[in-house]
A = this chain, B = another copy of it.
Amino acid sequence: MKRKGSRFERDLIEELWKNGFAAIRVAGSGVSHFPCPDIVAGDGKRFFAIEVKMRSSLPLYLTEEEIEKLRRFSEVFGAEEIIALKLPRKKWRFFKPEELGETSKGYRIDDDIYAKGKDIFDLKGLKQIKLE
């Protein structure tokens, strides 16, 4: 299975390093028989297991399986579960599973939920600085 998202994943890796996190892309995250996220990051205090998504527009739909896979990895590893979403000409936004909207088949991020998404400063645990 070819991984279409690897350019975006590398972009997020850069962003994380710039903000004080050591971050790596997971090899074969789509094919491994162990549950695993797309990116793992840590800064000595906090550890994140990140599922990376990019869309041309909202809503973003996520399956139960995707969230469950992320949860199972995070529980054993000792990481916080994060969904990272990139929209065109927008900065990365970050969501915890409990912040997602529920659908009959899984989860979604619509405009309302997107507006409440965290940015990279929130992820660092710093006070959010509004530059936009």
Binding site for B on A (CB under 8 A): 6, 13, 17, 20-29, 32, 34-37, 40-45, 47, 73-79
Tell me, in angstroms, the Cα distance from A2 to B131 when the chains sit together. Answer: 42
User: Which residues of the partner chain B approach A45 to less than 8 Å between Cβ atoms?
Assistant: 78
Chain copies in the assembled complex = 2
Chain B residue nearest in CB terms to A34: B17
Pick the residue among B20, B41, B42, B76 that contacts A22 (CB under 8 A): B76
Tell me, in angstroms, the Cα distance from A43 to B78 when the chains sit together. Answer: 6
Pick the residue among B26, B47, B76, B77 that contacts A78 (CB under 8 A): B47
Pick the residue among B21, B36, B75 that contacts A76 (CB under 8 A): B21
Whether B27 contacts A73 by the Cβ 8 Å rule is no
